[in-house]
Amino acid sequence: MLLRVGTRRSPLAMTQTNFVIGSIQALHPHIEFEICPISTVADRDRVSEFHQFGMIGVFTTEHEEQLLRKDVDFVVHSLKDLPTILRDGLVLASVPKREDPRDVLCGSALEDLPEGARVGTGSLRRRAQILSLRPDVTVVPIRGNIGPRLAKIEGDDALDAVILAHAGLERLGLGSKSSAFLDPVAFPYAVGQGALGIEARGEDTELVEILRSIECRKTRAEVDAEREMMHALGAGCSLPVGAVCNWQDERLSLQAQITSLDGHERVVATQDEPGEQAKELGLAVAETLKIRGGEKILQTSYREFCSHFKMLQS
């Protein structure tokens, strides 16, 4: 059997894809793979900030079209970039074991950041959360692959720190740059962060079965809860919503936080349920966030980033 695998071309995407192929091959040595990399809108356009500002699916739309055209058999995504709603006919077939999902500050620990420090991130969630912990910092929008982002803490005009996902650094062999982990209770990570998502056509039941052989049941429960919460909030991947989800002793606990873009307001909800009720847990936490005023914060942030986007275009 030959399987064609869709992926982005970035070093991180290629590493992740090779990892998935290696994991499947270890269990199914007779299967062969052909990697079919493409550049997405977000890779071709390195100038706009639009995808950082809530536009959904910029990393994944073209992959879904490839799947529906049957140009590829499955696609390996960073799960946090995959929208909670997939195109008709496509499924999240498998979620392998998650890396450490925490964010890290590269360049300086939080407590060592000087007053008024310049901190780089393109993510609205990270912007809001760092401002809520350290109102004195200036957030500098940055984007691009992990290597170039990391380079912003070196050389002339260097930033004091950049915020990145530990998982991305670890997979690229740059785990030693993860010097200062951000405590996820104070600085919750993005929904799905640190996990991979393998997307395929639902009708290919035999293939879905093969892909499922590398799934991690605990990770799947965690990300199902997180994604259901995100879906119920109607929020895209880069809105200021953070999560901490843990599976322990057959129970799943989910803490979620919505933070206003200026960091001044935040709403938190925490709940736990038996592990098999991941989706119910996600829905319940979303409801609590809404009741506590989270929806209003999201609407305001949405308006703010739409006007920011218009400003960038004009």
Ligand X SMILES: NCc1[nH]cc(CCC(=O)O)c1CC(=O)O
C-alpha torsion sign, points 191, 195, 196, 198: negative
Phi, psi of 118 (to 5 degrees): -100, 120
Q: Cβ closer to ligand X: 40 or 193?
A: 193
DSSP per-residue codes, 155-216: STT--SEEEEEHHHHHHTT-GGG--EEPPTTTSPBPTTTT-EEEEEETT-HHHHHHHHTT--
231, burial (CB in 10 Å: exposed 0-12, middle 13-18, buried 19+): middle
C-alpha torsion sign, points 284, 278, 178, 57: negative
Question: Min. distance of Cβ 99 from ligand X in angstroms?
Answer: 7
Q: Cβ closer to ligand X: 166 or 266?
A: 166
Question: Min. distance of Cβ 192 from ligand X in angstroms?
Answer: 7
Six-digit token string for 68: 């529906």
Q: Cβ closer to ligand X: 30 or 44?
A: 44
Q: Which residues are catalytic?
A: 80-81, 125-126, 143, 149, 237
Q: Cβ closer to ligand X: 64 or 81?
A: 81
Question: Min. distance of Cβ 98 from ligand X in angstroms?
Answer: 8
Residue 122 CB neighbour total at 10 angstroms: 20
For ligand X, the binding residues (CB under 6 A) are 78, 80-81, 146, 164-165, 167-168, 193-194
